[in-house]
């Protein structure tokens, strides 16, 4: 039997994640400093781990309601109201998921009919385009540019809207660029969504991680948007809980019910241990989040300064824990830069093209790693840039 032929066309044709391939090389090497994987270097705060341990000790090991523990849903509703100014009913408008990853998948599968177009800004998180394809939608990238600090503009969005457009996906602060949106630009985007009757999926996973006093605004909080938006958030980044695999989606009851049906048959419920830990995170974790945020801000300052000093233009992003410097000056393409940097200097960054074609000419560096490691990594990258420039001058 030709097994390859048996695989559904839309699955077979999806490329593997560029990050995964790259990190298989990284794992086979010794002494590499990785600025690659987007994962906090902090351990999950101890009291949150303790809540998980205590949950197991008490034997809380059964299924929960499909929507999630009522106490967690209430905590999520209070947290979202307190931090984002959007009010959801914990009984009917909150669904606990296996990370934001599951929330994205559920939201797309609940909304998209074959052939519907789903718009998203690019460069963007690696899963967006494949998740749209898996939901049988058509991915439509809206380019963002370094000159705008990778903000999405309503003008670029408008150019890509057609009669088949149905959904807009947003992720600000952004992975991989660190971009954030201004309220003014978001208002213009929101007005377009209302005019064109688009549903918005907003991925808020980096919302707590903003710097220089920038206050994050969610599009769901703007007038007229709550009723057409699915607000997705989780614990992986701000609470350093990637391995717990826990997140949530908040939306008007009719959309929550649609997502819940897919979740109910496909997943049943999120882990009960992770749900108990998540309650502790939301109710007691704010000081930990603030401590990590401050540390990320210091690291961002150092990394941005270092890239600019070595001649690689890098704007100072106001959010997430990534920087997206231009490597155009080196004359190397993103993939070549990243592979050579890894081989010659044992530092891993991700080629910008892993986040879409418009990432060419850039690399993503994640600064969720210790200051000491960052210092060594930056001096190795500077050395690499100097050596490449000298080789070019001699050629």
The residue ranges that bind ligand PLP (CB under 6 A) are 38, 99-101, 125, 171, 175, 203, 205, 234, 236, 242, 247
- Smallest distance, Å, CB 1 to ligand PLP? 34
Question: Token pair for residue 384?
Answer: 């690499």
CB nearer ligand PLP, residue 121 or residue 149:
121
All residues at 6 or more sequence positions from 255 whose CB lies less than 8 Å from its CB, including other chains: 107, 110, 111, 230
* Residue whose C-beta lies closest to ligand PLP: 99
- Smallest distance, Å, CB 243 to ligand PLP? 9
CB-count burial class (<10 Å; 0-12, 13-18, 19+) for 198: buried
CB nearer ligand PLP, residue 280 or residue 330:
280
Q: Please give the Cα distance from 145 to 122 (Å, whole number).
A: 9
Q: Please give the Cα distance from 122 to 126 (Å, whole number).
A: 10
- Smallest distance, Å, CB 102 to ligand PLP? 7
CB nearer ligand PLP, residue 69 or residue 179:
179
Q: Please give the Cα distance from 147 to 140 (Å, whole number).
A: 21
CB-count burial class (<10 Å; 0-12, 13-18, 19+) for 132: buried
- Smallest distance, Å, CB 276 to ligand PLP? 17
In sequence order, the β-bridge partners of residue 366 are: 322
- Smallest distance, Å, CB 45 to ligand PLP? 17
CB 44 within 8 A of CB 239: yes
Q: Please give the Cα distance from 345 to 342 (Å, whole number).
A: 6
CB nearer ligand PLP, residue 83 or residue 308:
83
Q: Please give the Cα distance from 87 to 85 (Å, whole number).
A: 7
- Smallest distance, Å, CB 34 to ligand PLP? 14
- Smallest distance, Å, CB 242 to ligand PLP? 5
Q: Please give the Cα distance from 263 to 275 (Å, whole number).
A: 16
> CA torsion angle for 170, 175, 177, 178 (degrees, to 10)?
90
- Smallest distance, Å, CB 235 to ligand PLP? 7
Count of alpha carbons within 13 Å of 222, Cβ hemisphere only?
23
CB nearer ligand PLP, residue 96 or residue 157:
96
CB nearer ligand PLP, residue 111 or residue 350:
350
CB nearer ligand PLP, residue 99 or residue 139:
99
Phi/psi at 41 (5° precision): -85, -10
CB nearer ligand PLP, residue 178 or residue 247:
247
- Smallest distance, Å, CB 325 to ligand PLP? 18
- Smallest distance, Å, CB 157 to ligand PLP? 18
CB nearer ligand PLP, residue 174 or residue 312:
174
CB nearer ligand PLP, residue 97 or residue 330:
97
């Amino acid at each position: 039997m030709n097994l390859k032929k048996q695989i559904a066309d839309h699955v077979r044709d999806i490329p593997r994640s560029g990050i995964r391939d790259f990190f298989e090389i990284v794992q086979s090497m010794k002494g590499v400093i990785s600025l690659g994987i987007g994962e906090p270097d902090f351990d999950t705060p101890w009291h949150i781990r303790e809540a998980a341990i205590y949950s197991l000790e008490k034997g809380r090991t059964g299924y929960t309601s499909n929507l999630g523990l009522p106490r967690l849903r209430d905590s999520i509703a209070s947290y979202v109201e307190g931090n984002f100014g959007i009010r959801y009913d914990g009984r009917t408008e909150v669904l606990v998921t296996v990370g934001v990853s599951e929330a994205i998948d559920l939201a797309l599968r609940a909304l998209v009919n074959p052939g519907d177009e789903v718009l998203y800004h690019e460069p963007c998180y690696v899963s967006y385009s494949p998740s749209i394809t898996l939901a049988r939608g058509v991915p439509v990238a809206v380019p963002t540019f370094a000159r705008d600090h990778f903000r999405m503009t309503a003008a670029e969005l408008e150019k890509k809207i057609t009669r088949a457009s149905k959904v807009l996906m947003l992720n600000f602060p952004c992975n991989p660029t660190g971009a954030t949106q201004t309220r003014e630009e978001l208002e213009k985007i929101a007005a377009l969504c209302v005019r064109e009757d688009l549903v918005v999926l907003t991925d808020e996973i980096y919302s707590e991680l903003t710097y220089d006093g920038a206050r994050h605004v969610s599009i769901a909080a703007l007038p007229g948007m709550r009723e057409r938006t699915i607000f997705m958030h989780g614990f992986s980044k701000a609470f350093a809980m990637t391995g717990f695999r826990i997140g949530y989606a908040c939306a008007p009851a009719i959309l929550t019910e649609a997502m819940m049906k897919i979740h109910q048959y496909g997943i049943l419920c999120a882990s009960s241990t992770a749900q108990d830990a998540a309650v502790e995170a939301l109710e007691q974790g704010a000081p930990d989040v603030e401590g990590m945020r401050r540390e990320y801000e210091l690291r961002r300052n150092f990394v941005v300064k270092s890239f600019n000093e070595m001649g690689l233009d890098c704007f100072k992003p106001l959010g997430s824990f990534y920087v997206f410097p231009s490597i155009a000056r080196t004359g190397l393409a993103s993939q070549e830069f990243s592979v050579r940097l890894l081989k010659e200097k044992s530092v891993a960054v991700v080629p910008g093209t892993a986040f879409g074609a418009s990432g060419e000419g850039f690399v993503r560096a994640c600064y969720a790693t210790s200051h000491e490691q960052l210092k060594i990594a930056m001096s190795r990258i500077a050395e690499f840039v100097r050596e490449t420039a000298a080789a070019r001058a001699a050629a």
